[in-house]
Amino acid sequence: MEFTYDRVKYRELLRTKSNLGDIQLTLPRVPPSVLDIDIRDEEITPPTDVQNGCSFPLCTSSVFEGQISEANYMTLGDDVKKVISCYIHVKDLDVSFKPGDAIAILPCNLDTEVEKFAVYLKVKDVLNKKCSINIQTSVKKKSNFQHIPTITSLNYVLKYCVDIRSVPKKAMLLILSECASDSFEKRCLQELCSREGSALYNTHILEPGATIQDVLASFPSCQPPLGRILELLPRLLPRPYSIASSPLISPHSVRIVLSVVEQPVKGLCSGWLHDVLAPLLGTCKEPLEKQMGELSLKPKQTVLVPVSFRRTHNFNLPDDLSVPLILIGPGTGIAPFIGFLQHRSAQKKTLHNVSFGEIWLFYGCRYSDRDFLFRSDIYKFMEEGILSRFFISFSRETTNNGVKYVQDNIKKHAQIFIQKILEERAMIYVCGDGKNMATDVWKTIVHLISSEKGIPEEEALSLLLNMQEKGTYKQDIWL
Ligand SMILES: Cc1cc2nc3c(=O)[nH]c(=O)nc-3n(C[C@H](O)[C@H](O)[C@H](O)COP(=O)(O)OP(=O)(O)OC[C@H]3O[C@@H](n4cnc5c(N)ncnc54)[C@H](O)[C@@H]3O)c2cc1C
Ligand SMILES: NC(=O)c1ccc[n+]([C@@H]2O[C@H](COP(=O)([O-])OP(=O)(O)OC[C@H]3O[C@@H](n4cnc5c(N)ncnc54)[C@H](OP(=O)(O)O)[C@@H]3O)[C@@H](O)[C@H]2O)c1
pLDDT at 8 over 90: no
Average pLDDT over residues 232-246: 96
Distance 332 CA to ligand 2 centre (A): 7
Which atom of ligand 1 lies nearest, measured to the CA of 256? 8
Dihedral pair phi/psi, residue 360, rounded to 5°? -110, 145
Distance 164 CA to ligand 1 centre (A): 17
Taking CA atoms only, the protein residue closest to ligand 2 atom 4 is 432
Which atom of ligand 1 lies nearest, measured to the CA of 336? 8
In angstroms, the CA 232 to CA 193 distance is 15
Query: 449: burial class by Cβ within 10 Å (0-12, 13-18, 19+)?
Result: buried
pLDDT in tens, 156-170: 999 999 999 999 999
Residues β-bridged to residue 253: 89
Residues enclosing ligand 1, CB less than 6 A? 102, 107, 209, 239-242, 256-259, 261, 264-265, 267-271, 332, 335, 476, 478
Which of 20-34, 54-68, 327-341 is predicted with the least confidence, judged by mean pLDDT?
A: 20-34
Average pLDDT over residues 379-383: 97
Residues enclosing ligand 2, CB less than 6 A? 81, 242, 259, 330-333, 335, 364-366, 395-396, 405-407, 431-433, 436-437, 440, 476-478
Which atom of ligand 1 lies nearest, measured to the CA of 259? 11
- pLDDT band of residue 282 (cuts 50, 70, 90) is low
pLDDT value for 310: 93
Own/partner long-range contacts of 31-35 (Cβ < 8 Å, ≥24 apart): 31/171, 31/175, 31/231, 31/232, 33/136, 33/227, 33/228, 33/231, 34/135, 34/136, 34/139, 34/145, 34/231, 35/133, 35/134, 35/135, 35/136, 35/145, 35/227, 35/230, 35/231
pLDDT at 292 over 50: no
pLDDT, the chain, mean: 90
Which atom of ligand 1 lies nearest, measured to the CA of 209? 49
Distance 261 CA to ligand 1 centre (A): 7
pLDDT at 79 over 50: yes
pLDDT at 457 over 70: yes
Per the model's pLDDT, the better-predicted residue between 361 and 204 turns out to be 361
Distance 91 CA to ligand 2 centre (A): 31
- pLDDT band of residue 283 (cuts 50, 70, 90) is very low
pLDDT in tens, 99-154: 999 999 999 999 999 999 999 999 999 999 999 999 988 877 767 889 999 999 99
Kindly list the structural domains of the chain, giving each domain's residue range(s) and its CATH number in brackets, ordered by start: 7-30+167-232 (1.20.990.10), 313-479 (3.40.50.80)
- pLDDT band of residue 4 (cuts 50, 70, 90) is very low
- Kind of pairing, strands 83-89 and 427-433? unpaired
pLDDT value for 291: 47
C-alpha torsion sign, points 461, 466, 472, 478: positive
pLDDT value for 117: 95
pLDDT at 280 over 70: yes
The preferred substitution site among 241, 273, 332 for testing ligand 2, maximizing ligand atoms within 8 Å of CB, is 332
pLDDT at 393 over 70: yes
Amino acid, res. 93: L
C-alpha torsion sign, points 247, 250, 253, 256: negative
- pLDDT band of residue 321 (cuts 50, 70, 90) is very high
Which of 132-141, 365-374, 413-422 is predicted with the least confidence, judged by mean pLDDT?
A: 132-141
Taking CA atoms only, the protein residue closest to ligand 1 atom 1 is 240
Which atom of ligand 1 lies nearest, measured to the CA of 312? 1
Query: 38: burial class by Cβ within 10 Å (0-12, 13-18, 19+)?
Result: exposed
pLDDT at 15 over 70: no
Answer whether 407's CB lies under 8 Å from 440's CB: yes
pLDDT value for 286: 46
Task: Name the DSSP letter for residue 113.
Answer: H
- pLDDT band of residue 13 (cuts 50, 70, 90) is low
Which atom of ligand 2 lies nearest, measured to the CA of 396? 40
**Nearest residue to 87 via CA among 107, 65, 72, 105:** 72
- pLDDT band of residue 218 (cuts 50, 70, 90) is confident
Taking CA atoms only, the protein residue closest to ligand 2 atom 6 is 333
Distance 427 CA to ligand 2 centre (A): 21
pLDDT in tens, 323-353: 999 999 999 999 999 999 999 999 999 999 9
pLDDT at 47 over 90: no
Average pLDDT over residues 373-384: 97
Give per-residue burial for 423-445: e unless 16+ CB within 10 Å, then b: eeebbbbbbbbeeebbeebbebb
In angstroms, the CA 247 to CA 277 distance is 24
The preferred substitution site among 433, 439, 441, 476 for testing ligand 2, maximizing ligand atoms within 8 Å of CB, is 433
